[in-house]
Chains A and B, each alone.
Chain A
Amino acid sequence: MTDNQRRNIILATDAGGTMTDAFAVDEDGAFSIGKALTNKVDESISYVQGYENSAANWDMSLEELHDNSIANIYTGTLYLNTLLERKGRTVGLIVTKGQESMYIHERGHSWIGLEWEDVLHHKLHHHVGGDMFRLHAGLVKGVAERIASGGYFMLAEPGQVKVPLNEAETRRAVVELLDQGVEVIGVVLLFSYLNGSHENRIREIAKEVMQERGVDVPVILSSEIVPVMKEVQRMKSVLMEAAGGPLVRDMLMKVEDVANSRGYAGELTTMASYGSIVNIRHPRMYETILSGPTGGLIGAKTLGELLGERHVLTADIGGTSFDVGMIQDHHISLRKEPDFAGHRLALQMVALDSIGAGAGSEVHVDPKFKHITLGPQSAGSDVGRCLRHPVVTVSDCNVVLGFLDPDNFLGGDVKLDRDAAVAAVRDEIAEPLGLSVEEAAAGVLTVLNSHLNHHLLTMLKSRGANPSEWTMFMFGGAGPLHMYGVDVPFAKVYTFPFAAAFSAFGVACAEYAKRFNQGSSYILPPAADEDAKSAMAKAMSETYKALERQGKKELFDEGKLTPKNIEFGASMRYVGVLETLDVTFSFGSINEAADIDRAIGEFEEQYAHIYGRGASLPESGFFISELSVEVVADKPKPVFIAHELVGETPSEESVTGERSVYFSGEWLSTKTYDMDALQPGNIVRGPAIIEHPMTTLVVPPKTEAAFDEYRFIEFRAATG
């Protein structure tokens, strides 16, 4: 195929704080990455620069690229930076009277974001409070009102009004906030997820006051944008939306304008943290705030489906951290309360556990007690002592052992100093530990691999999962470099030629979807009769239908999209237990009594699978605290073409040389290969190093890397 024939291109942008990656993938799965310095004032400028580079790789013009693109997804750190730099809109907050300090005390969450060692050190605990939002006491107003939950004993109907809204106090609060020049008003009332009438009435009153004063300030309701339990987390999400949402949307509109002006015919989309694409007109922009890490899991889910792997564990190994995620039964595991810049939010987000150690992590050794500590500081683009970082790093160890070629780092663009790496490892690691240079470097990598393995095991155990039923995907720039260190008995372990750009690839794979979680309070006693179940099913059915309608409407409004799939689920627990389990129903929505039994059956099965039969407590009844609906629309995705397999033996052209590499205590003469030259069906047996301009795959003795029909690489024990 010649470049000007490229069709059905998907554009996926990752606009970081420093660099913007402009990723393009065509219908055959070929990709091109362009880079540009992020223009923080106008990101549409760096968008154009990035795709000019990307298009140039394919000998296309920017206009040709856009003209042949069928999807355009833009993600980045704009939201984060807007808030971190305290540049968000001035927010006024109206809360239930008596809860005005929520933003100060944060229910005691003063340790969010600290490493475990620092959590144990109380003097390092600090609240982030309202600083990011420039919030102070004068901007937080309480109004008398109360919605009742009824509690576990259903003493009141869930959502019953216990104290009617005090409209005089509300009016006064709005006036005082407007007097202070707030640019947006957020409303967070207790139990509003069960009954949003008070929050709605506050908005009506606010609009009346604004009309009288001739101003118009948006009013954001927690019951609309984040209708789930736990008021402090809900407040944080409202603050994020209120302070940053519209500003981010405005910038994205600029990018969309420029994309359209250069030939792209569609609307710009971005990523929601739950792993789906949403239009930039999406009404809950805070849901995109933590979308950065989602790409890898989406890509893994896509490839898992292609390969027929139901359960996939992922490890994205970068320079500063490794992120571990799960895909179970082709579903990405989600989390309800992710942490962001010291805040704990109410937000559905792909569940990723991040460990602050990666390929660029600094290595510190306590000479007396011989402790090795990796990270959390990282060399970043300074690599290590082998380039220009003042502290020895994991990368230095990889250079010392011959895993990384100092003359071929990043395709040879950066020359590394092996002698400097050797000296650093000797002085800073080996001598304090009383080891040889090689032993010390290998030891550091063993520690990093050990962290990874324990993390993988812990994640599996937390789901009651057996590793032999799972497949491991390793990616990220350093994923292939460390995959030999995986010591968990997975069914299979894979990496990919595009491992370094896997996140961007994943973004391109994302589906267009709307996810809704509606807080609820359904309690089903253990001996509930059919009538009770029917009544409950009827009420749930109405909620599900309303959420489904909303999802369909939003999809239609954002490009006349039609749903291809709708999933229904619930957050369920035994009465008394506080933690819920999210269950996606295999049977669709709940409409009748029998569906309640089905839902409970599926909940109990999954609960017992994770915690054991002994932990179940059906005799206490069941509590359903959230209903969830995901409405998915069709969206073009990258297509992978299965190639015919050639022979196992790599071609001679693929062999680029030979060098000494330190494996298991000895230096071995090791062939090096060009990853791009290896063909489907090739098997590279260790010891070997397979190199790519953006990553390096280490194949120790007694292992092999097998390229399948998609050129995906299975890493396994040597078969021949």
Chain B
Amino acid sequence: MGLVPRKLLGDRTLIEQIRHSDSLTEGGFYHGLELLVEREHDPITYERFYDAVHSAVMGARETSKNVAASPGARELGELLFALLTPEGHAVAVSSGLVGHQGAFRIAIKYMAENGYDRNPGIRPGDIFLACDPATSGTPHPGDVYTFIPLFSGEELIGWAAGMNHTMEAGGSVPGAWPPWSPNTFTDGYLVPPTKVGENYEDYTWLYKQFERRTRAPMFNILDEKMRVAGCKMVIDSVTDIIDKFGLDYFKATSREIIEETRRICIDNVKMLTIPGRTRYVSFRTVPYKGIVDGVWPQSAHNWLLHLHTEVQINTVEGKLHINWDKISPANFHALGGYQGILESNLWLNVMDAIGLGLKPNSGMNLAVTYDMPQGALFNPPSDKYSAGNPWSSSVPLFNGFSSGLETSKRARGFVEESWNADLCWTGIQGEITLKDGFSFGFCQMDLLGASATPARPYMDGEPLGTAWWNPSSDTGSVEEWEYVLPGIYYLCKNVLPGYCGHGKFRGGLGMQLAFVVSDEVKEAIIGKVGATTGNYFTGQASVPGGSYPAPTSTLIVYRGTNVLELMRNGEYPGGIEELYEWIDQGKFTHKGREVHKEEVGALLVRPGDVYIVVGNATGGWGDPLHRAIERVEQDVKENFVTVEAAAEIYGVPLGDDASGSISVTEGAVAKRAEIRRAREAASVPFEEFWRTERQGVVNGDMHEFVADAYAELKGFSTAFKQDFESFWQLDEETIGAEHE
């Protein structure tokens, strides 16, 4: 006899409940809540109720993270707890990786669609784990979700959800963001929503799976214990809350809180923005050719991703819609993704741009609509496409969304609420092998814990100023990281002078991290990923006011150096500048140097090798020639900007570049005039520029990356093709004729 579907929600199964709720929401109000009855009837109790559920998830996070093993969770706070409705919408979220709450409902829906309420059953104390982007909403394999159902008697009334960014995902290369992954089979240890325990205790097999299928099992096991402990705390707290407020009140008010948030977002759109459309684009290279050819021939290609975003703002109805009809299609690389990455990014951007005065929850996702075409980068044709590293491409994509809102808010007069929407991150990952052969994988999150904030129309950005995905930003401690990743020593963790987008207000300085592989280990594998790792392209979607974009991130490896010997003698270079000087002086020697602007999956490094990662700089605002001279002087004094950059970029000669006979101001006036003359001399009228470029387009005279991208896009997106041909005033006939 087969198992009978359980009616977990009164007269409905879970999937029936989700469909029911979705159909109610189609009317425009979440769950059909045209009136917020409880709030209208008694706003005091309503606020008390929210305070209670919010305290429950916040308390769970603060307590359970102490159980966590991975530095990401404990030291950097990269975790999240939430209370969900039975359908998976978040009612209240803790601090931490707040964006993920937008994705939780995907896993719940998957379980519902696949009859989990019948088999394996959903019962009090059951633990469900999910880390498969295609089925569970997790953006990439390193993000792991845990769910525990909340029951009242026999009735499923919600879920406790916990997630964190784990140390290692068991992919084709060590780490949590597998680059070079052509499809889902190489992304890592992916678990579709799965029952992994009962009575609040994990099954032993789960830990054995972690041990066999990931390179950091101890961290992963402890992180799972943390998520379970936190979810249990949420369940216990909310059960007490229901005892106090009543079950009916809990069910009704939970949904009202979500609808209220949606309405506040809409109000904020009306209040903060102007109507219209914005279109921004950022680009991203995906160079696989020559790397994977012999193993994954389908991926032996170089892509240029066209990350185009059109934001449509309707201030009469407060509607915000994103049109992604000109985005690149999905392909056999790791930079695509599924719905979860979109929902997570969406939430993060809505929160900062228009999420004022509200209760952070899924109502923010419901306030924005979007079209991601079937077959596009984040809506692939099948569930076999890789989602190994979508944060690298989606953050630049959403910089376009954010740029649209920032532009609109600035136009409305909210200048202080505007900045150059340039959010970025850099991930270092790999595997360390000790001399006895024991090895362990890792994510090194110094440049994930925080990145520079971008410039604004009125102020500079700041180094390690925030983490878009984790508002409680924290890069961790050098001492903690060396404990967890022994044998790899920091040579430096400093800001890198001049490494920012320059402007009237400059972007925040990026960081330089240099490491030496000591002779305490046998060898290590390192990789680098991130949102500013696109060879030649910043993740920035605009260059406001004639500013400079930020430089992209870079990995430099020096092979076979003499640095261990130098160290024994009390010397080592304290940063890139000194290292270059020492190379010139012959003091620092090496047997080879590699520079990687692109993403790196796995480089083998051995004792004596030095690797340097620079990253997380952000873009500027306005023309650097407009920067106040005293600010440039201060930057030089603080070693934020080099004397050379002060003279050549800002037009303020100082130090040896200054003339002794005139003041700094006089020198700057003269130098800036000289730079302006040079700019003018190098310029051509736009029409001439357009004609020249057009000829290049007609002739096909362009880089292979670009030519391929245009070809791919024109074949995929009718909208792009029309725009492209319209802008360059082309048609097939013209192209043919001019070719001839």
Interface residues of A (CB under 8 A from B): 97-101, 104-111, 116, 119-123, 125-127, 136-138, 142, 144-146, 148-153, 155-156, 162-167, 190-191, 229-233, 366, 368-372, 433-435, 439, 442-444, 446-447, 450-451, 454-455, 457-458, 461-462, 574, 576-579, 581, 610-612, 614-615, 617, 620
Contact = CB atoms under 8 A, between A and B. Distances in A.
Given A120-B355, A127-B465, A579-B68, A136 B638 contact: yes
B453 interface: yes
B255 to A, nearest CB: 16
A502 to B, nearest CB: 26
Contacts of B319: none
Contacts of B558: none
Given A99-B492, A108-B450, A166-B571, A152 B464 contact: no
B95 A119 contact: yes
B495 A104 contact: yes
Contacts of B479: 149, 190-191, 229-231
Given A98-B575, A107-B464, A162-B567, 20 more contacts: A110-B473, A111-B473, A122-B466, A123-B416, A127-B464, A137-B637, A138-B637, A145-B570, A369-B260, A369-B263, A370-B40, A372-B44, A450-B51, A577-B67, A578-B480, A579-B65, A581-B66, A610-B63, A611-B66, A611-B229
Contacts of B247: none
A581 B67 CA distance: 10
A98 B229 contact: no
A313 to B, nearest CB: 14
B237 A461 contact: yes
Interface in B22-56: 39-40, 43-48, 51-52, 55
A574 B66 CA distance: 11
Given A98-B514, A369-B264, A443-B43, A107 B475 contact: yes
A231 to B, nearest CB: 6
A446 B352 contact: no
B449 A153 contact: no
Contacts of A126: 462, 465
A370 B42 CA distance: 10
The residue in B65, B71, B232, B570 that gathers the most chain A C-beta atoms within 10 A of its C-beta is B570
B467 A108 contact: yes
A443 B485 CA distance: 53
B465 A576 contact: no
B483 interface: yes
A443 B493 contact: no
B334 interface: no
Contacts of B40: 370, 434
B453 A97 contact: no
A202 B485 CA distance: 28
A197 B22 CA distance: 67
Contacts of B200: 614
A98 B493 contact: yes
Nearest to B232: A612
Given A98-B575, A163-B572, A611-B67, A123 B48 contact: no
A105 B67 contact: no
Contacts of A104: 463, 495
Contacts of B45: 446
Contacts of A123: 352, 416-417, 419, 453, 456
A577 B495 CA distance: 29
Contacts of B75: 578
Contacts of B70: 578
B568 interface: yes
Contact of B360 (A120, A372, A447, A578): A120
A443 B486 CA distance: 56
Contact of A454 (B52, B233, B571): B52
Interface stretch (B179-187, B218-226, B292-300, B694-702): B218-226
B411 interface: no
Nearest to A119: B471
Contact of A576 (B222, B466, B475): B222
Contacts of B98: 120
A577 B572 contact: no
Given A136-B638, A152-B486, A578-B75, A100 B494 contact: yes
Interface of B: 39-40, 43-48, 51-52, 55, 58-59, 62-71, 74-75, 95, 98, 200-202, 218-219, 221-222, 225-226, 228-229, 232-233, 236-237, 240, 260, 263-264, 267, 351-352, 355-357, 360, 416-417, 419, 434, 438, 449-450, 453, 456, 462-468, 471-480, 482-487, 489-495, 511, 514, 518, 520-521, 567-572, 574-575, 637-639
A122 B352 CA distance: 6
Contact of A577 (B222, B356, B456, B494): B222
A462 B466 contact: no
Nearest to B473: A108
A171 to B, nearest CB: 13
Contacts of A127: 462-465
A606 B58 CA distance: 22
9 contacts: A97-B574, A123-B352, A125-B453, A137-B639, A444-B44, A461-B237, A576-B219, A579-B66, A611-B64
The residue in A136, A368, A576 that gathers the most chain B C-beta atoms within 10 A of its C-beta is A576
B245 to A, nearest CB: 11
Contacts of B456: 123
A442 B468 CA distance: 39
A434 B572 CA distance: 70
A163 B471 CA distance: 37
Contacts of B202: 614
A106 B452 CA distance: 12
B594 to A, nearest CB: 21
Contact of B47 (A145, A156, A450, A614): A450
A232 B446 CA distance: 14
A141 to B, nearest CB: 10
B570 A165 contact: yes
B453 A122 contact: yes
Closest 10 CB pairs of A and B: A151-B486, A98-B492, A108-B450, A443-B44, A458-B59, A454-B55, A578-B74, A579-B66, A97-B574, A155-B520
Given A123-B419, A577-B69, A229 B480 contact: yes
A106 B474 CA distance: 9
A166 B570 contact: yes
A370 B464 contact: no
Contacts of B240: 457
A153 B484 CA distance: 9
A111 B493 contact: no
Contacts of A442: 44
B400 to A, nearest CB: 17
B518 to A, nearest CB: 8
B65 A462 contact: no
A106 B483 CA distance: 20
Contact of B449 (A108, A150, A372, A458): A108
Nearest to A455: B55
B219 to A, nearest CB: 7
Contacts of A149: 479, 482-483, 486
A430 to B, nearest CB: 11
Contact of A100 (B416, B465, B482, B574): B574
The residue in A100, A101, A119, A190 that gathers the most chain B C-beta atoms within 10 A of its C-beta is A101
A134 to B, nearest CB: 13
B637 A101 contact: no
A136 B635 CA distance: 11
A433 B44 CA distance: 9
B303 to A, nearest CB: 30
Nearest to A368: B267
A190 to B, nearest CB: 6
Given A97-B492, A101-B493, A455-B55, A107 B476 contact: yes
B477 A232 contact: yes
Contact of B59 (A125, A370, A461, A611): A461
B436 to A, nearest CB: 9
Nearest to A230: B477
B484 A152 contact: yes
